[in-house]
Amino acid sequence: MKLAFFDAKPYDRPHFDLLASERGFDIAYYDTRLDPGTARLAAGCEAVCVFVNDEVNAEVIDKLREGGARVLALRCAGYNNVDVRHAYGRLHVVHVPAYSPYAVAEHAMALLLTSVRRIHKAFIRTRDFNFSLNGLAGFDLHGKTAGVVGTGRIGRVFIDICRGFGMNVIAYDKFPAKDAGIEYVTFDELLEKSDVISFHCPLNAESYHMFGADAIEKCKKGVVVINTSRGALIDSEALLAGIKSRRIGAACLDVYEEESDIFFNDFSGHIMDDDTLARLISMPNVIVTSHQAFLTEEALSNIARTTVDNIFSILDEGACANELCYQCGKVGDCIKNRSGKCF
């Protein structure tokens, strides 16, 4: 088996190289992202591995299939960048639904603590031997209300972390988890009651820009917003306006809706073309990390092993529990009960 690996980064390779050696397959690493212009690089490969910012539209899928690909393996949970409907009958699409919910949830809390306790500002000060505490006053998380949007694996771990800090937790999810001991409310009620709002839901047509101008107007004044899920859940222009109007007290962003041409790259010597992102970063109450939440050694190891297992399950065993199909709606709701391939 030969695997074409797009948008490869130095931290990806050690774990995948180890598995390639163990299981006897070849990997062609490409630094470039997958798109209609680069799809030809996968010619002759049975499997193609992609990440969150690779473009897998109908044109790309057709080109991959013409080149001999049979499996499209996402080394991530989200798949909003893949035309799953067009892939049906052409490419088997597999993903990694759970690599480390702790990695993402812990990063979300790290962002929150850094923001409300001004740790990033204190670090910069003390590096210059400035030990003044002026302007560094934060607030206790204990007793505050955390609103969690999305209660899948990551959302529930984040809820547990919040409870450990003595926070009150309310949640919104279109599909509430039964018997989970979670207090579910409407989205509007969550906006109105929360001191902190954290997003842990997938991006789809319904959730696109769910946190826009109307939602921001319903929030408590000074609310802290965290997004470690998908950038387009938040309308960036509306968020910026909410910060400028002081409705938003702080924003902690690990994702950004126009991140695909920016994140994972070094633009430190260049002028930032994205004015919205540049203005967000310039705000004193905004912290931006570049889609870093997943990046732990444990998560990277789990991602590599699950991705490779997914590929061999399809190619050798004819079935994979992590296969995605537009007919199912979501993993776990399969009309074939995972007894075979989707097609």
To the query of whether residue 153 is one of the catalytic residues in this protein, the response is no
To the query of whether residue 230 is one of the catalytic residues in this protein, the response is yes
Other C-beta atoms lying within 10 Å of the C-beta of residue 321: 13
Q: Which residue is catalytic, options 55, 257, 259, 323?
A: 259
What H or E segment, with its residue span, contains residue 305? helix 297-312
Residues in the chain: 343
Q: What are phi and psi of 85, to 5 degrees?
A: -65, -45
Q: Which residue is catalytic, options 33, 247, 291, 323?
A: 291
Please give the full DSSP string across 227-281, using - where no structure is assigned: E-S-GGGB-HHHHHHHHHTTSEEEEEES--TTGGGTTTS--TTS----HHHHHHH
Map tokens 């820009």 to a residue.
209
- Could you give the 3-state DSSP secondary structure of residue 179? coil
Q: Are 68 and 27 in contact (CB under 8 A)?
A: no
To the query of whether residue 66 is one of the catalytic residues in this protein, the response is no
Q: Which residue is catalytic, options 95, 153, 200, 230?
A: 230
What residues are labeled active site?
Answer: 230, 259, 291
